Amino acid sequence: MEWIGTVSFAVSGALVAIGCSLDIFGVITVGCITAVGGGIIRDVLLGNVPPKIFENPLILLVAVITSVLVFVIAYIFRKRFKAFSAATNSYNVFFDALGLAAFSITGVETVCISPHSSNALLAITLGVLTGVGGGILRDILVNEKPYVLTKHIYAVVSVFSCGVYYLLSVHYNHKIIATFFVLIFTVLIRLLAARFRWGLPKINIDNNK
């Protein structure tokens, strides 16, 4: 799950950075922050310092390589990139959904194998932060409103998925079932939410609605 999440979020971050016309360093930076940002936040809050990413730099290297590959592919096909922007957004949503599912699982599991495994609130909270933290940092870096706070029931899906994973994994000891269920459910709901524009109620002050 950690490798799936790293690659998926690196792709997602790199695509967003390319869409914002960042240079290759910017693309690598945003791709890596998206991939490892949530895990760093989780580890710091758990007191695991230095964060795991600095003890296993291979994860960061994979994020760098993935970001570079996305940049190279986009550069080669740069004349078609804008023409295929809709398809690119679809790919971005898919990789973002896959990363959200994978990191939500790893976030909860990290707490489950820690001395705080009995604390359900902590496990679910850090699972959500692991899943959405990188995306929030990504959006801040490209000067956008955090996606998680505005569109497509993003965080709600992660909260539910983390709760289900914790319940099945800790109370019923079905880690494999929990992993597959959360992975499929999270990706499916995120894709459907993006397709049909599902969202939470909000007030649009400009339009008085």
Per-block average pLDDT, block size 10, for the chain (209 residues)? 91 92 96 95 93 90 96 87 67 87 94 92 96 93 87 86 93 90 93 86 71
Residue 18 belongs to a domain: yes
Secondary-structure breakdown of the chain: helix, strand, coil percentages, each rounded to the nearest 5: 80, 0, 20
Contacts with 64 (C-beta within 8 Å, 6 or more apart), sequence order = 28, 31, 32
Contacts with 185 (C-beta within 8 Å, 6 or more apart), sequence order = 101, 161, 164
Per-residue pLDDT at 25: 97
Identify which of 96, 120, 104, 119 has the alpha carbon closest to the alpha carbon of residue 42. Answer: 104
Is the pTM of the predicted complex or chain greater than 0.75? yes
Taking the alpha carbons of 130, 132, 133, 137 in that order, is the dihedral positive or negative?
positive
Determine contact, residues 31/153, Cβ cutoff 8 Å.
no
**Quick one: CA torsion of 111, 116, 119, 125, rounded to 10 degrees?**
-40
Residue 64 belongs to a domain: yes
Taking the alpha carbons of 45, 126, 108, 104 in that order, is the dihedral positive or negative?
negative
Distance CA 194, CA 149 (A): 14
Residue 209 belongs to a domain: no
Distance CA 81, CA 73 (A): 10
For residue 185, the enclosing domain spans 2-199
Radius of gyration of the CA atoms of the chain, in A:
17
Per-residue pLDDT at 56: 84
Residue 146 belongs to a domain: yes
Residue 39 belongs to a domain: yes
Residue 208 belongs to a domain: no
DSSP assigned state of 170: I
Residue 140 belongs to a domain: yes
Residue 207 belongs to a domain: no
Per-residue pLDDT at 83: 66
Counting the structural domains of the chain, the total is 1
